[in-house]
Structure 1
């Protein structure tokens, strides 16, 4: 009898990464502000993530290339190559810098939920401490062991939200209507962009292709890579849907403003009573630290591939990339801005940058080096649908921001 082997693959780590403070925050605010009506955006995001991750798996496993490496190698015209690399590098730096600020701000929310010492010392140095923790882990290269422990804590938080989801007794009719009937209530466009941005995180496309390349090396292993995707991503999406639904049942119509983790703790009080505050605190801190490590690392892998720098974790150039992203995140989280606002901006930035990265991925997936594993017409069509939806929503949000819509 063949042995059943359980292993955590790249998609499982990606799924754990997107159940971070951004997902918890945006999902809670979406449910509190718009009820069940934006669940369709999460369903779209889950399907889009699986479509794109299937492509990055083929790119990594069959082509043995990361997305950044593929972009650099396949563009021959030096002018077009320089412009494309500049565009993608800018997108990664802007998106991940904002995302890192949200990660660190989210971790600070966890600490502040149980201990707000800023009034005692006159200065909130939480972001600096979190930044230093992430720095030490990345510098030593031992982040993998700690990340697995943090994923375990995030899973515990996820179980809490699933339990709470059933205890709040959601209206199943409204839930399924929200899942399968798209709608855009007034003022919801940017929230939709944020929900997509927190699930289909652009930097994860680089991270997943590079991770798949390292874990699997032959086309025969592709089914295992796909199995990893089709189990891990829907599970992560289910948690996001549960958080939105819980907030919709607990907060929608109450006019309660969500400003910190203590506010969010009220959504799981039915399940945990006074422990709710501590569950949220541990979950937010774990999710924030895990994502604070992943985002700079993914930036480093993406930019080293684009700029033809060896993927050596201890090289000066590799370290310089993740240090820059980490420092920006600490600064952004320390400016006195509301953490919720920083997290929200990060998710919107991810949603706006998504179509740029996906267009490059689709282009790479149609190249001859993949042989029979190139995209067929329907996979290209699915990818283009993701691009078009992202562009339409992003364009509408920009028009709204400039008061043109």
Structure 2
């Protein structure tokens, strides 16, 4: 029975990692993973692994800051490097979060239409006000989010795992997919999109706030790091499950996924109506969890970066969060155009703002006056620089893509 007590203790110590996983894995991530699996099979599984390693490094950096400081990370950056720097990082984080909100609202609509048959454009008008009600009237928003996200992440894992079991994938081919044999400069758009599904730096930055809200101190560092590793591992696992499902069920039949709804329909064609319902439940869990927490992160980081409050108990973080929620809802309801391409572009373009976040985290985590013995060591810096270079290369590539796309709209 000792192992049961150990498991219960371990689960109770988790929370922030689940919140980070839930915000990163939204419908944009699911769409990208589904599309790439259906078009390229298992070939790009290795990208998820690299992105997950980078995300683990920066999330653990956020945890180490959170347990060792009373001030928030953006307050500390403002005090050491200037308010302008924290403000720019806050704005960058808000823009990165906002780029996800469109997809989150679309995902809620697509999933609920798959479950109920009611038009997808109705659901953002229901779920966004619900999220705003939770934001303003929940007595302890953090505890509510922690419990809700843990449930939703587990629902996602179960739903997508059942779909995977139905596909009976080839284990040998899966193993080959983790070997980077498919790299070429022509595939950088695929790699950028997949990196964007896992390596989300405003989430890693927010881990420091979650650790502080939990009340963790230096003595809890192992607990904080374990939470970070678990959350990002679950995030990577869900992305891998979706790619494998799409690669084994759709790729051999030459079926290309054009949306998350299309993924559900294709599974229904292969396995029956219950597969569509299971997938839609997983998609809805991903969409609503990401819709809620992503807006909280974006609004909270913008307010703190500007020096207007660092917790959801304060006025301005709630106002900025509400703006992010309403922006995503309005765009989803009134948008007309190529939804799937815009979703994938938004997913990849979210990385445009994040090199600044990486620089800010790197500087403050190497500041001995701030971090003391918990400042980055050599290997942590090596891996952090690798993550920064990965993001920077993707940003350089995506800049041209976005300019071209904007020009095509005019």
Q: TM-score, normalised by structure 2?
A: 0.87
The whole-number CA distance in structure 2 between the counterparts of 1:89 and 1:311 is: 11
5+ residue gaps, structure 1, are none
Deviation string, structure 1 residues 316-346 (Cα, Å, up to 9, x no partner): 3222211111111112212234543443233
Deviation string, structure 1 residues 35-85 (Cα, Å, up to 9, x no partner): 111111100111111111111111100123433222212214xxxx42x24
Deviation string, structure 1 residues 195-243 (Cα, Å, up to 9, x no partner): 2112122221232110011214421110111111222321221121111
The whole-number CA distance in structure 2 between the counterparts of 1:149 and 1:400 is: 36
Q: Check the 8 A contact 1:151/1:290 in 2, yes or no.
A: no
The whole-number CA distance in structure 1 between the counterparts of 2:149 and 2:362 is: 33
The whole-number CA distance in structure 1 between the counterparts of 2:181 and 2:398 is: 17
Partner of 2:94: 93
Shift of 1:30: 1.2
Partner of 1:206: 205
Farther off after superposition, 267-276 or 203-212? 267-276
Partner of 2:49: 43
The whole-number CA distance in structure 1 between the counterparts of 2:403 and 2:121 is: 34
Question: How many positions carry a matched residue from both structures?
Answer: 394
The whole-number CA distance in structure 1 between the counterparts of 2:362 and 2:185 is: 33
Partner of 1:398: 399
Structure 1 residues 149 and 92 mapped into 2: Cα distance closer, same or farther (>3 Å)? closer
Farther off after superposition, 240-249 or 304-313? 304-313
Q: Check the 8 A contact 2:26/2:286 in 1, yes or no.
A: yes
The whole-number CA distance in structure 1 between the counterparts of 2:221 and 2:68 is: 8
The whole-number CA distance in structure 1 between the counterparts of 2:123 and 2:146 is: 20
The whole-number CA distance in structure 2 between the counterparts of 1:202 and 1:31 is: 24
Q: Check the 8 A contact 1:20/1:103 in 2, yes or no.
A: yes
Farther off after superposition, 27-36 or 278-287? 278-287
Q: TM-score, normalised by structure 1?
A: 0.88
The whole-number CA distance in structure 2 between the counterparts of 1:339 and 1:115 is: 21
Q: 1:126 aligns with which of 76, 101, 123?
A: 123
Q: Check the 8 A contact 1:60/1:209 in 2, yes or no.
A: yes
Partner of 1:353: 353
The whole-number CA distance in structure 1 between the counterparts of 2:327 and 2:300 is: 18
Q: CA RMSD in A?
A: 2.6
Q: Check the 8 A contact 2:90/2:306 in 1, yes or no.
A: no
Structure 1 residues 155 and 270 mapped into 2: Cα distance closer, same or farther (>3 Å)? farther
Structure 1 residues 272 and 241 mapped into 2: Cα distance closer, same or farther (>3 Å)? same
The whole-number CA distance in structure 2 between the counterparts of 1:293 and 1:345 is: 21
Q: Check the 8 A contact 1:49/1:233 in 2, yes or no.
A: yes
Structure 1 segment 1-400 matched on structure 2, within 5 A: 3-4=5-6, 5=9, 6-7=11-12, 8-76=14-82, 81-82=83-84, 84-118=85-119, 124-141=121-138, 143=141, 144-145=143-144, 148-149=147-148, 151-184=150-183, 188-252=187-251, 254-266=253-265, 268-269=267-268, 273-337=272-336, 338-367=338-367, 368-399=369-400
5+ residue gaps, structure 2, are 405-410
The whole-number CA distance in structure 2 between the counterparts of 1:293 and 1:133 is: 9
Structure 1 residues 355 and 182 mapped into 2: Cα distance closer, same or farther (>3 Å)? farther
Farther off after superposition, 94-103 or 166-175? 166-175
Shift of 1:350: 2.0
The whole-number CA distance in structure 1 between the counterparts of 2:226 and 2:43 is: 31
The whole-number CA distance in structure 1 between the counterparts of 2:266 and 2:20 is: 26
Structure 1 residues 59 and 156 mapped into 2: Cα distance closer, same or farther (>3 Å)? same
